[in-house]
Structure 1
């Protein structure tokens, strides 16, 4: 590792194969904590390259435990995290609204490393028992139209660096990998990113996949549609900026979608929203993200129809029923 670090400290970058090899060795615990910390720190000092991200992604996917689900049109909606905004768990809430509207969701998530409450924290707090095999995940998908894939159970590398990431409390390149390595390989991926440079790298990488994607970036720094400002959405064939009015909403204030200060508070906010006790701002932001995701599948009509489906899923408690069925 010393040679690798010296090479990187001299402002060199890794090839795809080098990145893949190093992350594989990190997962195999071949380096001590200080060495891994120094390696991660390199990517806090500069942006990751496309080849490095490709190599890291390949390493995680090759080491991942396989997930085989009888579903060829599932969707995942996930953000990189690390935007420092401490919002409510928007993508996870939107996942249940999407499931309640009739779209199967294979949600990939993890504990928060640079945030207070990641999707796994809130799911655990709500009473969900993480599953570690395809059979249990398939049963969840059947009864709730959604299954939750807790990343460390399927990615040895993420498990091996989990404590280190938490102790650092900073956004690292692992934030960028999470949305790219869902082991169920959903047909549709809605991925939120915290800046446009990362959006470009994702765009180049995902263009090589057969599956469909939409990259979402709130132009004031959110890794999701926040409705606090305009949103850029990039797909395989389009790149557009949408105002809040374009999406059918009024602009909201950042403080109106703040998350809790503990996993317990976040889970209570989460449940309140699904139970119909959310504020207008909270409801608006999760509905916007759910509607865009539904529209991206091209299965539910135009955006307006997708919005009504999402709204009906939330207001009729179909989304809540998906959660209740999942944690039974």
Structure 2
């Protein structure tokens, strides 16, 4: 590790193979927490390269506990986090809306590191139990239309890194990796990133595969469609800019999508919105992200996807999916 850190601090780059091997060695407990913390810090001081990101990703995918749904094609809605915006749990809420539209969702998530409440935090607070058992996950997918993949259960390689990330409390290159290491290998993916440079890197890596994907970044800095401003998107078919008017929605203010100051507040906001009692701004932001996912998979227009998503959010169909997930995971 010492030689690697010296190499990186001199602005040398790791090859894809070197990055792969480094992460394997970290997973095998070959380095102490101080060395890992220094490594994470170095990557906060200089940009990660595409080859390094690809090597880290490939290592985590090889080492993960894989999930097999027997050919069922799912979608994951996931952001990198690390945008510092502290919004409510938009992609998690959108995931339940998408599931209520008849699209199987394999939602990959984790506890918050650089935010008040991650997807795992809010779902656990509502009574969702986590498991890595394949049959258990398949049942939740079949009956609730959604399964939740709590990242630490599937990525044993991360156990030596998780406490260090928590202590640092800031985004690291592991934020960049999160959406790319879903152990169910979903065919469809709506992924948000926190800056345009990372969007470029994601696009380069995703176009090498066979995913049906859309990568998002709002010009306000959000790692999702925020409706506070326009958002750039890159998909496997095209790229462009989406405005609130493209969804038939109004522009919203940052404070209207605030996520609360505590996990308790975050959970209360989540319940209010999924119960159909959110504000227009909250509902529209959820429906915009869910609607884009619906448009991707079902081939309908973005406006049609938005309207269907909004309807299912307001008529409690999304909440029914959540209630089913809670019940099944507690049986």
The two structures have a TM-score, normalised by structure 2, of 0.97
The structure 1 segments of at least 4 consecutive aligned residues displaced by more than 6 Å after TM superposition are none
- Is the 2:256–2:282 Cα contact (8 Å) retained in structure 1? yes
1:222 corresponds to 2:222: yes
- Is the 1:21–1:59 Cα contact (8 Å) retained in structure 2? yes
CA distance in 2, matches of 1:205, 1:129: 33
User: Could you tell me how far 1:173 is from its partner in structure 2?
Assistant: 0.2
CA distance in 2, matches of 1:82, 1:327: 28
- Is the 2:218–2:231 Cα contact (8 Å) retained in structure 1? yes
1:244 corresponds to 2:244: yes
Match of 2:168 in 1: 168
Any idea what SS the aligned residue of 1:86 has? Answer: coil
Match of 1:103 in 2: 103
CA distance in 2, matches of 1:33, 1:241: 42
Match of 2:203 in 1: 203
Match of 1:158 in 2: 158
Please list every run of 5 or more consecutive structure 2 residues that lacks an aligned counterpart in the other structure.
none
CA distance in 1, matches of 2:53, 2:87: 26
CA distance in 1, matches of 2:299, 2:73: 13
Match of 2:117 in 1: 117
Match of 1:276 in 2: 276
1:38 corresponds to 2:38: yes
1:253 corresponds to 2:280: no
String of CA shifts for 1:3-29, please: whole Å, max 9, x gaps.
111111111010000000001111111
Alignment length, in residue pairs? 327
CA distance in 2, matches of 1:104, 1:260: 29
Any idea what SS the aligned residue of 1:285 has? Answer: helix
Match of 2:86 in 1: 86
User: Could you tell me how far 1:110 is from its partner in structure 2?
Assistant: 0.5
Counterpart mapping for 1:130-145 below 5 A: 130-145=130-145
CA distance in 2, matches of 1:245, 1:302: 13
Bigger Cα displacement from structure 2, 299-308 vs 69-78:
299-308
CA distance in 2, matches of 1:218, 1:122: 24
The two structures have a TM-score, normalised by structure 1, of 0.98
Any idea what SS the aligned residue of 1:251 has? Answer: coil
User: Could you tell me how far 1:157 is from its partner in structure 2?
Assistant: 2.1
CA distance in 1, matches of 2:214, 2:177: 16
CA distance in 2, matches of 1:24, 1:35: 15
- Is the 2:117–2:263 Cα contact (8 Å) retained in structure 1? yes
Any idea what SS the aligned residue of 1:132 has? Answer: coil
User: Could you tell me how far 1:251 is from its partner in structure 2?
Assistant: 0.5
CA distance in 1, matches of 2:48, 2:294: 31
User: Could you tell me how far 1:300 is from its partner in structure 2?
Assistant: 5.0
Match of 1:19 in 2: 19
Match of 1:315 in 2: 314
CA distance in 2, matches of 1:10, 1:81: 28
User: Could you tell me how far 1:160 is from its partner in structure 2?
Assistant: 2.2
1:295 corresponds to 2:298: no
Bigger Cα displacement from structure 2, 259-268 vs 282-291:
259-268
Match of 2:326 in 1: 327
- Is the 1:230–1:241 Cα contact (8 Å) retained in structure 2? yes
Match of 1:66 in 2: 66
CA distance in 2, matches of 1:288, 1:221: 17
CA distance in 1, matches of 2:110, 2:158: 9
- Is the 1:25–1:31 Cα contact (8 Å) retained in structure 2? yes
- Is the 2:246–2:303 Cα contact (8 Å) retained in structure 1? no
- Is the 1:72–1:186 Cα contact (8 Å) retained in structure 2? no
- Is the 1:54–1:205 Cα contact (8 Å) retained in structure 2? yes
CA distance in 2, matches of 1:237, 1:101: 23
Any idea what SS the aligned residue of 1:270 has? Answer: helix
User: Could you tell me how far 1:218 is from its partner in structure 2?
Assistant: 0.4
The RMSD of aligned alpha carbons is 0.9
